[in-house]
Amino acid sequence: MTNVESLATKPLFGLPLAELWFALLFFIFGMFLFLDGFDFGVGVLFATRNDDHEKEQLLAAVGPFWDGNEVWLVVFGGALFAAFPSVYANLFSRYYLLMFAILAALGLRGLAPEMYEEREDDRWRTLWGYSFVIGSTVTPFLLGLFVMNWLVGATGLITPVGVLGGVTVLVLTIVDGAAFLGLKTRGALRDEMRDYGIRAAVGYLGIAIITLGVIYVTEPGLRSSFRSITVVALVMLTATLTGIYTVALRRRRYYAAFAATATLVFGLVGLVATLLFPFVDRTAGLTVREAIISTLPLNIMSIMASVLLPIVLGYFVVLYSAFSGPVDTEETYG
């Protein structure tokens, strides 16, 4: 058998590519939720500021990052379409109104800071300041709503589990944003953000436990998954990391708090993936192996991903290195 024939009939190096792409899909979503999550969190915390200089510091903190962070959402959509096209079609047709709402909220979040800086007029800045807060609040809520509906296989848009998931993701982004601002601000502003982060962490743990409890009660098909070692370990890890995050903020160990946040985000995403697996579309009854594309394009796509993904990750390392450290107190978004 030639190499070309082997590529068309056998998975690359004998690897379980369907499962690896399922894991990669949720890794990409985790990257988006972690990186753009602190942008959302800063947007929510923007509502707590009355001083114009402090507002400018918050905008300056996320200014170099937010548009790049959104790349991960585009990559997530592309990976879902490329690896699991039937699932992509099902989800986007089932939740198309929700998808449009997410895109609209993302657009508002992105437009608002640009418009905010256009004029010095108080009414103008108030309008776009509120728009920034609304876009930053609604987007993670809708993302959580989407993910939880996907997990449980809901056919409607607004479900109790979905709403709880939306609140869970929203509060997690505040935890993320507060940790990020611990790295990017100084003085009294940093201390206030630290306090908000501690409160948000406690709230996140509480709402996450409630959400899991509701899923366990209302979704009998998932109960066996809750008893798996992986799920139990992820729940315990979440509780432990919440404590680590809180202690780190109290001791002003902001890098440790930010690292704990990253693990919290990936822990939540990993928990969703674990509960969903082996399905990738529970409503349609599609498992990962049933929904994956055929062998040849899957192998080619895997080769391309192994080359391109490290380049993308390297770009983000350079970006975050170039803009590391706190923003200047007089620095502005523009």
- DSSP secondary structure of 35-84: HHHHHHHHHHHGGG--SHHHHHHHHHHHTTTHHHHTHHHHHHHHHHHHH-
Task: Report the C-alpha gap between 185 and 97 in whole angstroms.
Answer: 38
Confidence of residue 333 (pLDDT cuts 50, 70, 90): low
Query: Within a domain: residue 88?
Result: yes
Query: Within a domain: residue 155?
Result: yes
Q: 62-66, 160-164, 319-323 — which one is most confidently predicted on average?
A: 160-164
pLDDT of residue 326: 84
326 φ, ψ (degrees, to nearest 5): -65, 150
Predicted structure pTM score:
0.93
pLDDT of residue 255: 94
Cβ burial, residue 152 (10 Å; 0-12/13-18/19+): buried
Report the CATH number at residue 173.
Answer: 1.20.1630
Task: Report the C-alpha gap between 39 and 61 in whole angstroms.
Answer: 9
Domain span at residue 231 reads 17-314
Task: Report the C-alpha gap between 88 and 84 in whole angstroms.
Answer: 6
Task: Report the C-alpha gap between 6 and 108 in whole angstroms.
Answer: 48
pLDDT of residue 319: 87
pLDDT tens-digit readout, 166-224:
999 999 999 999 999 999 999 999 999 999 999 999 999 999 999 999 999 999 989 88
Check whether 332 has a pLDDT greater than 90: no
Query: Within a domain: residue 4?
Result: no
Task: Report the C-alpha gap between 265 and 271 in whole angstroms.
Answer: 10
Confidence of residue 297 (pLDDT cuts 50, 70, 90): confident
Q: How many domains does the chain have?
A: 1
Query: Within a domain: residue 215?
Result: yes
Residue 193: other Cβ atoms inside 10 A = 27
